[in-house]
Amino acid sequence: MQTTYDVIVIGGSYAGMAGALQLARGRRSVLVIDAGIRRNRFASHSHGVLGQDGKPPAHIAEEAKAQLLKYPTVTWIQGSVESAEKIGDVFTVITTDNKTLSAKRLILATGISDHLPAISGLQDRWGKTVFHCPYCHGYELNQGNLGVLATSEASLHQALLIPDWGPTTLFTNNCFTPDELQLKQLAARNVKIETEKVSEIAGEQSVIVKLANGRLVELAGLFVASLTKPASPLAQDLGCELAESPVGFYVKTDELKQTSIPGVFACGDLGRPMGSVTFAIGDGAQAGFAAHRSLIFDGLPG
């Protein structure tokens, strides 16, 4: 089969587009295949991205896509990749609508998916009044009363962080019991502890936490460390090694964003333990540089 592209980028959100942009500027042929289901699609506004602070996440992506598509060597397919394999030095990907495409390098930027505890009303409020990242959404809660809903012992870290954004209550929800030292740490940060189980999350402008004993706690916002996993199994299918964070798995890379499989790069949330739009753009650019350089330097004599 003929190799059609220098690089195929799977996932055309912040990370994938940042990678494709560098390759386009190197006049390399790059195909972006994107299903368009970004992790932050639940939030109306994106924060903390320099020069883009407070914009709707879709606007940032649309503006980036319009700029990227001006480069003549960029091709975009709206769709989903079902499988990817490396045969010799060639990568072949097949889309769900049965297009077969190939390239010399692959950049995976498919992101991660968030999994919340099965508590009634929680998922509906994700990205509205329920969040995982205080840097993204804490400021707008205007120093109101905040909650941390524990998912595991990893939530201790979140509970110690959140008081910078407002008075904080940790709902342990039978997920972990702080030991003596952890109780001292929580006290040092003035975190209140609620051990009653959470039965439901309600409220529209604010969050109403309904406890099993019938008591209601009103909050400006609730933070939950969602459990995460790669949004697509492609990296594992290709044999890329994974690494574990306190909340899930991500694809292990070197500092140039190359995975354990030569010629496969991973960037954005897929390739780091803690993600943001800014980090995704930085990692994507790094993957783009590195994929471009590998096309040149891996082929030189000697």
Which residues here bind ligand FAD, judged by CB under 6 A? 10-11, 13-16, 33-40, 42-43, 46-49, 80-81, 109-111, 114, 126-127, 133, 136, 231-232, 234, 268-270, 275-278, 280
CA dihedral angle for residue 3, residue 23, residue 11, residue 96, rounded to 10 degrees: -20
Give me the residue whose beta carbon is nearest to ligand FAD. 268
Q: Which stretch binds Mg ion (CB under 5 A): 6-14, 26-34, 139-147, 159-167?
A: 6-14
Nearest one of 16, 250, 271 to 8, comparing CA atoms: 16
Q: Which of 7, 8, 9, 15 binds Mg ion (CB under 5 A)?
A: 15
State which residue, 170 or 285, has the beta carbon closest to ligand FAD.
285
CB of 237: closest distance to ligand FAD in angstroms?
10
Q: Does 14 bind Mg ion (CB under 5 A)?
A: yes
Q: Does 286 bind Mg ion (CB under 5 A)?
A: no
Nearest one of 286, 247, 248 to 268, comparing CA atoms: 286
CB of 97: closest distance to Mg ion in angstroms?
21
HSE-CB at 2 with a 13 A cutoff on CA atoms is: 2
Q: How far apart are CA 105 and CA 292, in angstroms?
A: 9
CB of 49: closest distance to ligand FAD in angstroms?
5
Q: How far apart are CA 196 and CA 210, in angstroms?
A: 10
CB of 266: closest distance to ligand FAD in angstroms?
9
State which residue, 268 or 271, has the beta carbon closest to Mg ion.
268
CB of 12: closest distance to Mg ion in angstroms?
7
Binding-site partner at residue 276 among ligand FAD, Mg ion, none, CB < 5 to 8 Å by type: ligand FAD
Distance of CA 195 to the CA centre of its chain: 30
Nearest one of 182, 213, 58 to 127, comparing CA atoms: 58
State which residue, 280 or 290, has the beta carbon closest to ligand FAD.
280
Q: How far apart are CA 27 and CA 188, in angstroms?
A: 55
Binding-site partner at residue 40 among Mg ion, ligand FAD, none, CB < 5 to 8 Å by type: ligand FAD
C-alpha angle 223-224-230 in degrees, rounded to nearest 5: 135
Distance of CA 91 to the CA centre of its chain: 25
Q: Are 193 and 199 in contact (CB under 8 A)?
A: no
Binding-site partner at residue 47 among Mg ion, ligand FAD, none, CB < 5 to 8 Å by type: ligand FAD
Q: Are 170 and 191 in contact (CB under 8 A)?
A: yes
CB of 284: closest distance to ligand FAD in angstroms?
7
Binding-site partner at residue 269 among ligand FAD, Mg ion, none, CB < 5 to 8 Å by type: ligand FAD
Q: Does 13 bind Mg ion (CB under 5 A)?
A: yes
Q: How far apart are CA 132 and CA 102, in angstroms?
A: 37
State which residue, 112 or 209, has the beta carbon closest to ligand FAD.
112
Q: Are 216 and 140 in contact (CB under 8 A)?
A: no
Binding-site partner at residue 136 among Mg ion, ligand FAD, none, CB < 5 to 8 Å by type: ligand FAD
Secondary structure (3-state) at 202:
strand
Residues binding Mg ion (CB under 5 A)? 13-15, 268
